[in-house]
Structure 1
Amino acid sequence: MTTPTTQVTGRSGQPRDPRRELGAALSRWASGSAAAIGVVRVLDRHGFGSVESGQLIAGTPGGEVSGLLYRGALDDSAHPLAAEAAGGAATVREAHVAEASALAAGLACAGGATLVGHPLPAGPAAALGAALEAARPAALLSTVDGGAVLVLTGPDLSEEHGDLGSVTAAGAAEARALLRRGSTTTERVTAEGVDLLVDVWVPVPSMLVVGEGALGAALHAQAGLLGWSARTVTTLDDARAAVADFTDADVLVLLDHAPAFDALLLDGIAHGRGFLGALGSRRTQAARRERLLGAGTTEEQLAGIHGPVGLDLGARTPAETAVSIVAQVIALRAGRAASALAGSTGRIGG
């Protein structure tokens, strides 16, 4: 059985997002012989203090479990429910946690939750697992009794797996509206008179700054304002190890101009995941481009490297340059051209 509280690290030695581990488990189980996987979600709650949205446990009929609900405080109720759900039963169950147990788990106070356990067919489970493991946007929708299930994936949740019957289109529209808020959320919504439980997962970018200097510090400050994580490495080996663990939500900003770091960009191109940005003058970019072409990189692959990195904002200071870089990342993640709002006719704010 997978221990939900075990911290897993990637090749870089940094802790991996538990949702990636959950995604890997879903993908593995879905590719096996199981017709369905059981999932347990929070339908309603009271107490516990502040808790993260998008909490999910998944399990197999044999008792394997991955994921986490409220720091493990609900394991005694959630784990058996996951096994029942994997066997085909959709069940709604009340769970309560006493003060001492809640505090021991790291929660603020005692509380209770209404849990829904339901089967997740192999096809939708595989799609959800792939999205979570790669840190791509995803949504899981079900009727509140777990009788019908829909998984949405893709940057704008346009890919549908499963269905909710006559309310599939309306439910998907509700999930896409929640996606535009830009944060992971769990909501009860009503679509054409049907009560649905919707979990939407929006990956939070993680920035890797390679090289030191005032711009690196400014990038850390911008990442903090946005709620992103950021770290700096200075050696090629550390940088390559970090990029080997990249997901679609990760961001590389290469500050070091040394030719040795071309290997890092080649790694990023080969993996095809995340945002690859490289600082440097036009002359530096041209020299780097020639070296990468000489190493066998194609023009199409070079288009995946954003260099000079950042939007043309007229930035002059490190702080302004950092703004231009994170603005480019935000625009690309949203599929926007980063033009002035006054000159556009589309939706404002996502």
Structure 2
Amino acid sequence: MTTSATSPAARRPADPRRDLGAALRRWAGAGAGTGIVRVLDRHGFGSVESGQLVAATTTGEVAGELYLGALDDAAHPLAVQAASGTAAVREAHVAETPALAAGLACAGGATLHAHPLAAAAAAALGEALEAGRPAALLAVVDGGAALVLTGPGLEREHGDLGPATAAAAEQARALLRRGATATEQIEVDGVRVLVDVLVPVPSVLVVGEGALGAALHAQAGLLGWTARTVTTLPDARSAVADFTDADVLVLLDHDPGFDEVLREGLAHGRGFLGALGSRRTQAARRERLLAAGVTEADLEQVHGPVGLDLGARTPAETAVSIVAQVVALRAGRSASALAASTGRIGG
């Protein structure tokens, strides 16, 4: 087992949403007022991701971005203004040259919605984003009322939208069941509400080399997830220490030294921990972990052998079984055949 210094491969890819969460949590803890700007409507720009927002304080600190930064000139002062308690709707336009320079497909225009966000709601949203957990941000378009939903099923409410709260929250929870970040306008009893459901994208950490590692990278790419491979204990420990709830460890290396990565992952209590190996390998690993002080309850959080029982024979099929288990656990499903279930199909 190699123990070289931490390599660039071990470092977590840039995650703007996580950085935004950290800023929101920090500002709320310091008692700073927070303003939010989101895109209410748009035309042009080509394909853009949902769930984008800019946040700012009254002192001008800013986090997040809209459309690769192309709308920042309009969004930043609007967010600062919203931090002082003023909600507003403004039009913004980006010409072809700056749009292309930012990486967008073409010019466009956007209707920006700015609103304040109370400290408790900002703290809850920031904590969820930083930890890689689902969250939703809802705001009344024609006013400043805002609501943040957190928890695995968005069951926890922070703030309110007045009479529209219950119905709007239920619609946000329904959007969450799609399993992807979404931005939508909804109408509840004549009240327009802008909803952003923010679903973290899993990042797969493969520890060890081989054909299965390459197959996991390919499968992650198909799902829109990120993936990276490390081969040394320091790299693996560094990466797992930085895990969020959305992250996935797949331990391919059977070297007993890598038991430490599983122990540290259990201690952090974040992410999906999976380990490859035969039943004999799993039994030996289990005995070593128990001898090292890991409890039986903790071991239930280690998925080994990792993957669903699909009868996988090839690396590609095994990769499918592993990501399928992750998807099922994230959705709270048993991963049984759809024909044998009576619940909602598709989340």
Per the normalisation by structure 2, the TM-score is 0.95
Q: 1:186 and 2:183 equivalent? A: yes
The aligned amino acid for 1:306 is H
Which residue in 2 is equivalent to 1:28? 26
What does residue 128 of structure 2 align with?
131
Q: 1:262 is matched with which residue: 259, 264, 267? A: 259
Q: Indicate the SS of the match to 1:316.
A: coil
Q: Secondary structure at the match of 1:169?
A: helix
In structure 1, what is the Cα distance between the partners aligned to 2:10 and 2:278? 29
- 2:94 maps to which of 72, 94, 97: 97
* 3-state SS of 1:109 partner: coil
In 1, distance between residues paired with 2:106 and 2:344?
41
The residue number in structure 2 matching 1:6 is: none
Instruction: State whether residues 9 and 229 of structure 2, in contact with CA within 8 Å, keep that contact through their aligned partners in structure 1.
Output: no
Deviation at 1:26, TM superposition (A): 0.2
Contact 1:119 1:146 in 2 (8 A): no
Q: Measure the CA separation in 2 of the matches of 1:125 and 1:11.
A: 32
Partner of 1:334: 331
Asked if the contact 1:19–1:132 (Cα under 8 Å) also holds between the matched residues in 2, the reply is yes
Tell me if 1:281 matches 2:297.
Answer: no
Structure 2 CA distance for partners of 1:106 and 1:146, relative to 1, 3 Å: farther
Superposed counterparts of 1:1-350, under 5 Å? 12-34=10-32, 36-350=33-347
Say if 1:116 and 1:146, in contact at 8 Å, map to a contact too: no
How far off is 1:192 after superposition? 2.7
Counterpart amino acid of residue 287 in structure 1: A
Q: Which portions of structure 1, spanning 4 or more consecutive aligned residues, are displaced by more than 6 angstroms?
A: none
Report the equivalent of 1:4.
Answer: none
C-alpha displacement at 1:11, in angstroms? 10
Gaps of 5+ in 1: 1-9
1:4-41 deviations in Å (ceiling 9; x for gaps) = xxxxxx9943432100000000000111122x311111
Whole-angstrom distance in 2 between the partners of 1:268 and 1:151: 29
Q: Which runs of 5+ in 2 are unaligned?
A: 1-7
Q: Distance in 2 between matches of 1:327 and 1:222?
A: 10
Q: Is the 8 A contact 2:86 2:144 kept in 1?
A: no
- Bigger mean CA deviation after superposition, 275-284 or 215-224: 215-224
Q: Report the AA paired with residue 103 of structure 2.
A: G
Structure number with the bigger relative contact order (C-alpha 8 A, sep ≥ 6) is 2
User: Residues of 2 paired with 1:185 and 1:225: CA distance?
Assistant: 19
User: What SS class does the counterpart of residue 250 from structure 2 fall into?
Assistant: strand
Give the whole-Å Cα distance in 1 for the aligned partners of 2:130 and 2:22. Answer: 6
User: Which stretch of structure 1 is more off in the superposition, 81-90 or 221-230?
Assistant: 221-230
The amino acid that maps onto 2:266 is I
SS in 1 for 2:170: helix
Deviations 1:287-314 (A, max 9, x none): 1111111111111111111111111222
Find the counterpart in structure 2 of residue 5 from structure 1.
none
Distance in 2, matches of 1:59 and 1:220, equals 36
Aligned-residue offset at 1:316: 2.3
Give aligned pairs, total. Answer: 340
Change (3 A) 1:261 1:238: same
Aligned to 2:3: none
